[in-house]
Amino acid sequence: MYTRNTRTGLVLTLIAGTSISAGIAAAQTGRDNPKSPDRQKHRDQPADARVNGHDVVRTLHFVKSGAILGSSVFNANGEKLGSVDDIVINRGNGRILSVVIRDGGLLGIGGKLVAVPYGAFGYDASKGRLTLDVTPERLEQAPASESDGWLEFDSEEWTEELTEAYREMMRSLDADTRDAYAAGIAGAETERVEGTVTWVERDTTVHGEEQVTVHVRTADGSNRSVILGPSWYVMSQAAAPMRGDTISTVAYVLPRDGQNRLVARDATIDGGELAVRNDDGTPRWDVADRGWADAEARGTTATSPMLRLTDLVGKSAHARDDDGGEIADAVLELESGRIAMVSLDPNENFLGIADDVKCVPWSVASVGTDTVRIDADRDMLLNCESMPEQVSVFATPARLEPVYRVFDVQVVDFHPRERREWSLDTQVRDWSGNDRLTKAYRDSENVHFDGTVRSTRSLDIAEGMPNATAIVVRTDDGDREVVLGPGWYVSAEEMWFPDGAEVSVLGRNVRLDGQELFFATVVNRLEGERIVLWKDGTPVWRSRSASHTDR
């Protein structure tokens, strides 16, 4: 739309997602800042531009994490798919990798967790909600991501789950753990660099990973730049660098592009040891052929490149001089899919600003295992902006720039993410084609018992099959777990067994993939409803047109 601006004339406002790449650097201060405007323009600066003589302003979509977590997700038909249980981000660059949805479950009760790549989501700005182009039935067929272990990238657990979100995050993991300098390190000479850190640069490379480079002012007044490693790893360590820190590092000297690059082997930063590489030059962050569980044995503290948003909010935080508080919230920019800022709720003894929640750019925050370190001094935190109730006020780069300027950092590039269709690459079967199940069922004998429903749960039945829904029935001989059918089918047919319901069950004990399961053939409820699940040795969900009830 067009709006009148008295200073520049017409301003064309574009919704984020339109790519505008011209750059205007934000104002910076600090003589030693290599990203200051008098040194260079940052290539990642979000841009205003001019089209046909008019200013073009990119509009950004900011939202607090508290407004997204727990919110409902809908498809284009207005069908509710579930709610946002969590969001998985890269702990270094803050990019959103996946959204963990809790689907609707049985009549909205319970539900399983499904990790969906963030690139599959849209955002309905008019309704303020995420959208996903999938049917509720399709979501129900997706493999569950129930275990906390998947965030630690345990290979066996992930292999079992095989979700598209896994592959999406593993692609990011491959990029973030890649050692761009491995080929040149063997036999390279080393050099010691000592001095004071004047700038901590977190820059995205051509491979897509974010690397940390420290700019060091040495005793003789010269400036040296030393590459430390991927930001998720370096900035998660207790000795992560901050501006003003003293540093002593031994670095490999690697000739590249006509000049020497310094790549750190190890570093002592403000008295703390930063383990970057092993004695043979291999990176400490490399997790090929091993999980993250041995991080402590490798002298590191990071558990994973990935971080749950719910684990970020509430973490303690402190600045350079140990003043701090806790992270009260995070501000997401939804079109680019990354964290822009965090809300710092200061401690009560922080010069009287305890009740004034502050805006802190993500680019000065470093997320460790137990705390968030903020590369800022007391004056920066006292003078930075308070977090507004409505973060939509930061919709344009011009309005956003002052938030970053007080911390002497550039506004990052909120470049629109690539949208892609979500597909389940695993062969999600409806069970009807599983000959092993059908044969095992037909070879078994009927069993009958009566009892009372205690609970409803989701079960993993066999590899390559969607989760099942089962009820636990209390009988005179103890509890029996009764498999009703695929979760998507049970949900679609609105089968509901409230706790305490009296039922009469006819079914068969089936041995499948080494486990014995009881599959219900017919479930009779006391109210008179008769639910048929198998007919003539064939599951009724083979055809969605088959009715499951007989009155």
- For residue 440, the domain's CATH number is 2.40.50.140
Q: Which of 225, 251, 285 is the last residue of a domain?
A: 285
End-to-end C-alpha distance for the chain, whole angstroms: 58
User: Residue 493 has what pLDDT?
Assistant: 72
Query: Do the domain assignments include residue 51?
Result: no
Query: Do the domain assignments include residue 455?
Result: yes
> 144: which residues sit within 8 A by CB, 6+ positions away?
112, 113, 114, 161, 458, 460, 467
Query: Do the domain assignments include residue 226?
Result: yes
CB 485 within 8 A of CB 548: no
The first and second tokens of residue 482, run together, are 């009764």
Residues in the chain: 551
Query: Do the domain assignments include residue 535?
Result: yes
Residue type, 518: F
CB 546 within 8 A of CB 532: no
| Domains held by the chain: number | 2
User: Residue 182 has what pLDDT?
Assistant: 75
Query: Do the domain assignments include residue 259?
Result: yes
Query: Do the domain assignments include residue 510?
Result: yes
The first and second tokens of residue 421, run together, are 């269709």
CB 328 within 8 A of CB 173: no
The count of C-alpha atoms lying within 13 angstroms of the C-alpha of 336, restricted to the half-sphere facing its C-beta, is 24
Mean pLDDT by 10 residues, the chain (551 residues): 28 28 30 41 41 54 93 92 92 90 62 83 88 85 58 41 49 61 83 96 73 96 94 92 96 84 94 90 67 46 76 92 86 92 84 75 92 92 92 87 93 78 49 68 93 88 72 94 86 78 94 86 83 88 49 36
Nearest alpha carbon to residue 416 among 58, 155, 144: 58
User: Residue 320 has what pLDDT?
Assistant: 86
Nearest alpha carbon to residue 263 among 303, 234, 232: 234
Query: Do the domain assignments include residue 418?
Result: no
Residue type, 467: N
Strands 316-318 and 371-374: parallel
Q: Which of 237, 262, 285 is the last residue of a domain?
A: 285
Q: Specify the 3-state DSSP secondary structure of 461.
A: coil
User: Residue 479 has what pLDDT?
Assistant: 93
Owning domain of residue 257: 182-285
Tokens 């997401």, residue located: 332
Q: Which of 257, 285, 313 is the last residue of a domain?
A: 285
Query: Do the domain assignments include residue 300?
Result: no
